[in-house]
A and B are shown apart, each in its own frame.
Chain A
């Protein structure tokens, strides 16, 4: 498992996650900086992302949409707030209308990406994500990140199935 640490602060609605990769910071940076590579990891196979604009400079914008199994296409964007290639990115993730204009009714989630050189071709990437409030988080997860919920449902099903097997065995 490459995720090495996760810290969650419910009160302040922040999550920090560290991961380590067998790759240089420059190579990890490319996962963010190359829109074709970004498309291959941002959304899961069931909810792939299509990046339609990609300007990773301060003040720039990255525009994308996801395509759900039912053909639904939530649109979203990042505002690029800070960039220090290949070590740091500060992005504000928001939802957009179908024409790409920001949907101001929807909450914004800000996250910071930090890529540290660990030497010998290894890097650590940290994601620090902040939500403005619980309602915003609920919206974000319910609206544009249903893949998270779908995955969770699968996991919950698996846990329930295990529980059933375990109690079956105990009998």
Chain B
């Protein structure tokens, strides 16, 4: 199944929260249900359930029935938006290069002022 075009607003909106990022990380192995996930956080079951629902709407996790249990699993399709991630990583380094350039320019200016 194609997920096209990815809803980046929703995707990154869902990832903009530290707890939800942590849930995505934990659910890569996909062994835990909402109740077990909730055990990792100092918030109510309902609050964790709400976070999972937001992630589900963004396509980042799915709930999968295994026997009588429902486990939360990170969606490999969404994770495979690796191209996008690679782009983000590129952006991260471009930001760093910009700051490096500014820093080098700073020290050049200082040298000239010293003269």
Residues of A in contact with B (beta carbons under 8 Å apart)? 2-3, 6, 8, 10, 13, 15, 17, 19, 21-23, 27-28, 31, 37, 40-42, 44, 70, 72, 125, 127, 129, 134-135, 137-139, 141-143, 145-153, 155-156, 160
Contact = CB atoms under 8 A, between A and B. Distances in A.
Contacts of A72: 18
Contacts of A37: 103
A70 B97 CA distance: 25
Contacts, number: 125
A20 to B, nearest CB: 9
B66 to A, nearest CB: 20
> Main SS of chain B's interface residues?
helix
Contacts of B57: none
21 contacts: A6-B90, A8-B90, A17-B97, A21-B101, A27-B104, A27-B107, A28-B104, A41-B100, A125-B100, A129-B89, A137-B82, A138-B82, A141-B92, A145-B88, A146-B21, A148-B89, A148-B92, A149-B88, A151-B91, A152-B91, A156-B9
> Main SS of chain A's interface residues?
helix
A153 B10 CA distance: 10
B40 interface: no
Given A23-B104, A41-B103, A153-B12, A141 B95 contact: no
Contacts of A139: 25, 28
B80 interface: yes
Given A8-B87, A41-B100, A141-B85, 18 more contacts: A2-B97, A2-B98, A2-B101, A8-B83, A8-B86, A13-B82, A17-B90, A17-B97, A22-B104, A31-B100, A125-B100, A127-B93, A139-B25, A141-B88, A141-B92, A143-B22, A145-B88, A149-B12
Nearest to B20: A142
A40 B28 CA distance: 34
